[in-house]
A and B are shown apart, each in its own frame.
Chain A
Amino acid sequence: MRFREPLLGGSAAMPGASLQRACRLLVAVCALHLGVTLVYYLAGRDLSRLPQLVGVSTSLQGGSNGAAAIGQPSGELGTGGARPPPPLGASSQPRPAGDSRPVAASGPGPASNLTSVPVPQTTSLPLPACPEESPLLVGPMLIEFNMPVDLELVAKQNPNVKMGGRYTPRDCVSPHKVAIIIPFRNRQEHLKYWLYYLHPILQRQQLDYGIYVINQAGDTMFNRAKLLNVGFREALKDYDYTCFVFSDVDLIPMNDRNAYRCFSQPRHISVAMDKFGFSLPYVQYFGGVSALSKQQFLTINGFPNNYWGWGGEDDDIFNRLVFRGMSISRPNAVVGRCRMIRHSRDKKNEPNPQRFDRIAHTKETMLSDGLNSLTYQVLDVQRYPLYTQITVDIGTPS
């Protein structure tokens, strides 16, 4: 583009003047374009969710957004459980205003013994089912591990999470009753990051969830799978969970569209870890974070109890699923991106040299090694604001 000729007609002015005019015109057009783009962008965005875009939630205001978005759609949310008048006796829905459950179950209309707190309209009506996909999700998030985490502050930032790390959506009934089981020993710093990032995400996913940290007592070899078995048993003592997410303490999802709940097939959640170049290290990989429904878990006799040390137990679990006719369901590699907190190899969790032999025999061993052979002793149960910690003695390699 040459500016020798005057663009706006008129006399043949000096090249400098027409150049100036042309530049001004260009700048004006660009500014106009940017302005129009900005208008369209702002019109389409919900700015109140800006803090969540960086993986942090100050105080969760998702409730009102969620309710507004759910509205009263006609047919699609008609899951049997939510529509008819109070079936809520089955699921526990503790009301913040202190209503007890019998109040909700006693019939429609404002109940007589409501508290003096101005009643939100939802207490007298049955709650709708939560939508298939939560409207609160933000997608990709920024995950970093370079700042210190104060769990008291995290608890304040997540006021709707109840003692023991329990949360139930306030404005809708979630079909996903999820116990999140974390095998643990001596990783308090990692746990802090996990809680900091995951609580906001899990709430945005509108899950009815509880966090269980299963802490292996003693100094013998670490046994991840057995701890997960214990988590399954112990979580069920608290609540009728129907779904179990098994997560390593050092894995954080980078996209909240990666659902931490169960599917019709066993679900692999940590499919694209930064440690493996954001891809699956091998197609049968089932480690890191996974989700099994209660039925899927029972079908495979739970997890093996005999994998002491690092490695192999996730491959054994994969084998169990395949031998029972199941397959692995996964999100795509973009949604499935995860960050792992870098750390050196733990002591007493060295690679298990027997793992290759063991995974060659899953078909036989799964019959006798699993839930049906699980023995352990609970030493301590602690209810913290953001999680429940169960310290357990799982014995030693036999």
Chain B
Amino acid sequence: MRSFVPLFLVGILFPAIPAKQFTKCELSQLLKDIDGYGGITLPEFICTMFHTSGYDTQAMVENNGSTEYGLFQISNKLWCKSSQVPQSRNICDISCDKFLDDDITDDIMCAKKILDIKGIDYW
């Protein structure tokens, strides 16, 4: 009987996983970590991400045979692994679907790598 309680709690928490549309303020808090990285200020990140994904963590856009995922629209051509582009270098060493959830710490980690290697011009 007692084992059903955590199961029940898990059950009702399940629907809470997908689809997060951040507001500018929420995103500012979460991106504090990346403020100044690569010489790009937080307002510049916020503005860029608005135009890139509209703050939609589930954004997934096809672009000429490759696909871009999540808040930072990270491409499976080079940066993450997906079945569409099996020969991807997968520089961030992560499955692209991980960029579609609410937790953007992995997105930020990969965005930093992109900034290191390609710079802000990626966007």
Query: Chain A: residues with CB nearer than 8 A to chain B?
Result: 277, 281-282, 350-351, 353, 356
B30 CB within 8 Å of chain A: no
| B50 touching A351, Cβ below 8 Å | no
Determine if A282 and B61 form an interchain contact, defined as CB atoms under 8 angstroms apart.
Answer: no
| Distance to closest chain A CB from B1 (angstroms) | 41
Cβ contact within 8 Å between A282 and B50: yes
Complex CA–CA separation, A282 to B63 (angstroms): 25
With A282-B47, A282-B50 in contact, do A353 and B64 touch (Cβ < 8 Å)?
A: yes
B residues within 8 A CB of A281? 50
B residues whose Cβ falls under 8 Å from a Cβ of A: 23-24, 47, 50-51, 59, 61-64, 68
Contact across chains for B63 and A353 when beta carbons are under 8 A apart: yes
> Which residues of the other chain, A, contact B61 by a CB distance below 8 angstroms?
350-351, 353
For this complex, 10 residue pairs linking A to B, each with C-beta atoms less than 8 Å apart, are A281-B50, A282-B50, A350-B61, A350-B62, A351-B61, A353-B62, A353-B63, A353-B64, A353-B68, A356-B51
Q: List residues of chain A with CB within 8 A of the CB of B51.
A: 356
Q: Which residues of A contact B24 (CB under 8 A)?
A: 277
* In contact, A277 and B23 (Cβ under 8 angstroms): yes
A282 to B43, CA, bound (A): 12
Residues of A within 8 A of B63 (CB): 353
10 tightest Cβ-Cβ pairs between the two chains A and B: A353-B63, A351-B61, A350-B61, A353-B61, A281-B50, A277-B23, A350-B62, A282-B47, A282-B50, A353-B64
Beta-carbon nearest neighbor of A315 in chain B: B51
Min Cβ gap A259→B in Å is: 28
Least CB separation from B21: chain A residue: A275
Q: A281-B50, A282-B47, A282-B50 are in contact. Are A351 and B23 (CB under 8 A)?
A: no
Bound-complex Cα distance A356 to B122 (A): 12
Q: Which residue of B lies closest to A351 (CB)?
A: B61
Could you tell me the distance between the alpha carbons of A277 and B50 in the complex, rounded to whole angstroms?
A: 13
Q: How far apart sit A179 and B47, CA to CA, in the bound complex (Å)?
A: 34
Say yes or no: A351 contacts B59, CB within 8 Å: yes
Q: Kindly state the separation between the CA atoms of A281 and B27 in the bound complex, as whole angstroms.
A: 14
A309 CB → nearest B CB, Å? 9
In the assembled complex, the CB of B67 is this many whole angstroms from the nearest CB of chain A, namely 10
Q: Which of A282, A350, A351 has the most CB of B within 10 A?
A: A351
For residue A350, which residue of chain B has the nearest CB?
Answer: B61
Task: State A197–B63 Cα separation when bound (angstroms).
Answer: 38
Given A353-B62, A353-B63, A353-B68, 6 extra CB contacts under 8 A: A277-B24, A281-B50, A282-B47, A351-B59, A353-B61, A353-B64
